[in-house]
């Protein structure tokens, strides 16, 4: 392990670099570098550790600061913990995935990426924990990070003092088609709610889709945006404040430079983190092939109405039109046919004697309520907080969500 130290106002940052196996089951597969940052507050020495698992897949951990609070939950976490912010493999400073790290052919790249799921991320966590000399730590998992925490509970419950999950109780023993079918229905409801709030935006969206069908919606990089890609703007409706952001975008003149640049920033899948698109559906794959499940489960009503928006529904056609993703199209097709191993083991989860506190958002666009509650019921000590106060990004909305969950975990707050 290699280390370095940085200091920010009120924070000490200890940077850790570890060489870990690409495939923890095969030392001969080579190594990659994993980066983690231990964030310690002014009085934090000697406090227990919390490891933060970021959402995604394909996004690095947020970069810490207390001026202003960024992320909003961090100040509250540092009251009780030293916080380990892990750049999951392939992201940030952990051998980032891209042209420089892709091993060669599309088939070789696809095989390489089969080692970037939650199972290997948990193995990396264990390597970091052991390098720090920590017997047990607490996990905070947001979205995909919560999915990863569930796998952690399945495999290494003895390493966990507690688990906090926000919007990340994944479906267990459900086909991937069930998950996408449920999230499509949620997005239909969210679309209708949005147009009730901003009724003029339905015509704006319909007109914009007509322009897109004629290849007249063009990004600054020259990409023409199709109606299918335009539909993914609905991911804004799954986040706090996102409806307002979408409204302010749609009210712009679609021929203006401001609209073109703002649209590029608002689209969900892009070239900065290609892993997010290439690898996305695999995060829901619990022992199945994904086979472009979002496309296959799109309801006819959505297919026929361009004003009904999508959430994190990845269309195969995106890899034929987004210039940053076209090079990864064949790799994505190969991964869609990959037989992904099982991630969640109900019998092991039922025996995981670890306290869990989970925020379940009642109208979550990405983790359906009914499946989240089913999963919570599998765990022997899961204290579930169901709330309609927050959307999927509730953890980022200050300290409220984390404070509530820490109260549940410690017994200071009761269900």
Q: What is the pLDDT of residues 29-65, one digit of tens each?
A: 899 999 999 999 999 899 999 999 999 899 999 999 8
Pairing of strands 82-87, 49-53: parallel
pLDDT digits (tens, 9 = 90+) for 96-140: 999 888 888 999 999 999 999 999 999 999 999 999 999 999 999
Q: Which of 311, 336, 361 is the last residue of a domain?
A: 336
Same structural domain, 46 and 76: yes
Nearest to 405 by CA among 127, 190, 162, 181: 162
Same domain, 255 and 390: no
Residues 109 and 153 in one domain: yes
DSSP state of 261: H
Q: Does a structural domain hold residue 304? A: yes
Q: What's residue 206's pLDDT?
A: 98
Work out whether strand 11-23 and strand 49-53 pair parallel, antiparallel, or are unpaired.
Answer: unpaired
| Cβ atoms of 230 and 260 closer than 8 Å | no
Q: Which domain holds residue 75?
A: 2-173+344-410
415 occurs within a structural domain: no
Which strands sit side by side in the sheet containing 49-53, from one edge to the other? 2-8, 11-23, 26-41, 82-87, 49-53, 137-142, 160-166, 356-361, 382-387
Q: Give the per-residue pLDDT at 65.
A: 86
Q: Tell me, yes or no, whether 167 lies in a domain.
A: yes
Residues 168 and 206 in one domain: no
**Same domain as 240, residue 197:** yes
For CA atoms 312, 317, 322, 325, the dihedral sign is positive
Give residue-wise pLDDT tens across range 332-362: 999 999 999 999 999 999 999 999 999 999 9
Which residue carries 């696809």 as its tokens? 110
Q: Quick check: pTM over 0.85?
A: yes
Rg (CA), the chain: 21
Question: Residue 149 belongs to a domain with what CATH number?
Answer: 3.40.50.1820
Do 157 and 110 fall within a single domain?
yes
> What pairing do the DSSP bridges indicate for beta strands 26-41 and 49-53?
unpaired
Same domain, 164 and 187: no
Among 303, 336, 369, which residue terminates a domain?
336
Indicate if 180 and 285 belong to the same structural domain: yes
Tokens of 117: 């799921």
Q: Any residues with CB less than 8 A from the CB of 256 and at least 6 apart, and which?
A: none
185 shares a domain with 167? no
Please indicate, yes or no, whether residues 315 and 191 belong to a single structural domain of this protein: yes
Total domain count for the chain? 2
The answer on 280 and 254 residing in a single domain is yes
Residues 143 and 105 in one domain: yes
pLDDT per residue over 362-384, tens digit each? Answer: 999 999 999 999 999 999 999 99
Final residue of a structural domain among 284, 313, 336? 336
* pLDDT score of 71 more than 90: no
Calpha distance 355→352 (Å, rounded)? 9
């Amino acid at each position: 392990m290699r280390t370095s130290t940085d200091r920010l106002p009120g924070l000490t940052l200890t940077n850790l670099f570890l060489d870990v196996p690409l495939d923890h089951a095969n030392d001969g597969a080579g190594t990659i570098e994993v980066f983690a940052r231990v964030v310690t507050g002014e009085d934090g020495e000697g406090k227990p550790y919390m490891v933060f698992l970021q959402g995604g897949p394909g996004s690095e951990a947020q970069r810490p600061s207390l001026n202003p609070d960024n992320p909003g939950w961090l100040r509250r976490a540092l009251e009780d913990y030293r916080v380990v912010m892990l750049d999951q493999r392939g992201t940030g400073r952990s051998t980032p995935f891209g042209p420089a790290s892709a091993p060669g052919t599309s088939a070789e790249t696809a095989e390489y990426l089969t080692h970037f799921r939650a199972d290997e991320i948990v193995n990396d966590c264990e390597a970091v924990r052991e390098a720090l000399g920590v017997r047990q730590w607490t996990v905070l998992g947001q979205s995909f990070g919560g999915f990863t925490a569930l796998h952690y509970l399945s495999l290494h419950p003895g390493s966990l003092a507690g688990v906090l999950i926000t919007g990340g109780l994944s479906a267990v023993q459900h086909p991937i088609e069930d998950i996408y079918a449920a999230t499509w229905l949620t997005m239909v409801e969210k679309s209708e709610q949005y147009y009730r709030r901003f009724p003029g935006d339905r015509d704006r969206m319909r007109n914009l889709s007509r322009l897109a069908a004629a290849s007249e919606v063009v990004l600054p990089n020259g990409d023409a945006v199709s109606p299918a890609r335009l539909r993914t703007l609905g991911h804004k409706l799954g986040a706090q404040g996102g409806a307002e952001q979408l409204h302010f975008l749609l009210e712009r003149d679609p021929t203006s430079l401001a609209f073109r640049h703002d649209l590029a920033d608002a689209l969900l899948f892009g070239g900065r983190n290609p892993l997010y698109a290439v690898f996305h559906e695999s995060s829901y794959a619990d022992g199945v092939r994904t086979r472009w499940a979002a496309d296959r489960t799109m309801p006819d009503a959505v297919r026929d109405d361009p004003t009904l928006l999508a959430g994190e529904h990845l269309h195969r056609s995106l890899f034929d039109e987004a210039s940053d993703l076209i090079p990864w199209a064949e790799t994505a097709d190969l991964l869609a046919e990959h037989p992904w191993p099982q991630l969640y083991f109900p019998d092991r989860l039922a025996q995981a004697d670890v306290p869990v506190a989970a925020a379940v958002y009642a109208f979550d666009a990405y983790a359906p309520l009914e499946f989240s509650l089913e999963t919570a019921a599998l765990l022997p000590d899961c204290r579930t907080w169901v709330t309609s106060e927050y959307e999927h990004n509730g953890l980022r909305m200050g300290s409220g969500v984390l404070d509530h969950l820490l109260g549940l975990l410690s017994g200071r707050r009761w269900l």
